[in-house]
Amino acid sequence: MEFIICILAGILFATGVYNILQKQLLRIAIGTGLISHAAHLFILTMGKLKRGQPPIILEGITEYTDPLPHALILTSIVISFGVTSVVLVLAYRTVNENNTDNMEQLRGNEYE
């Protein structure tokens, strides 16, 4: 099963990168979201999948899935949520100020 999830994470990463390489801000925001999904799956897979019961202590259970990756991912989800919200509001402000969300037009003039 780890095999499948690794490939899935890789595909999500690739789609994320492809979206980041696009011009529109919204696509870039979606791309970053996809990459964080890939990273979460990656962390989870590295902790071995499904080797026991959910990490909640109950009488009579000796095997739990690894709880540490869960804690790490939980932290990561919250942080990426914070970042995504800032990116989205930033996109909103950018469009408000510049009337475009095309990255090719948002590159300043001093290089030309």
Q: Which of residues 47-76 bind another protein (CB under 8 A)?
A: 47-58, 64-68, 70-71, 73-75
Report, in Å, the least distance between residue 69 CB and another protein. Answer: 8
Q: Which positions from 13 to 32 touch another protein by CB under 8 A, shown as an x/- string? A: xxxxxxxxxxxxxxxxxx--
List 64's β-bridge partners, or say none: 53
What SS3 state is found at 13? helix
Identify any residues that bridge with 24 across adjacent strands, giving them in sequence order: 102
Report the site for another protein in 89-108 (rule: CB under 8 A). Answer: 89-93, 95-96, 99-104, 106-108
Q: Which of 19, 33, 28, 36 is nearest to 90 (CA)?
A: 28
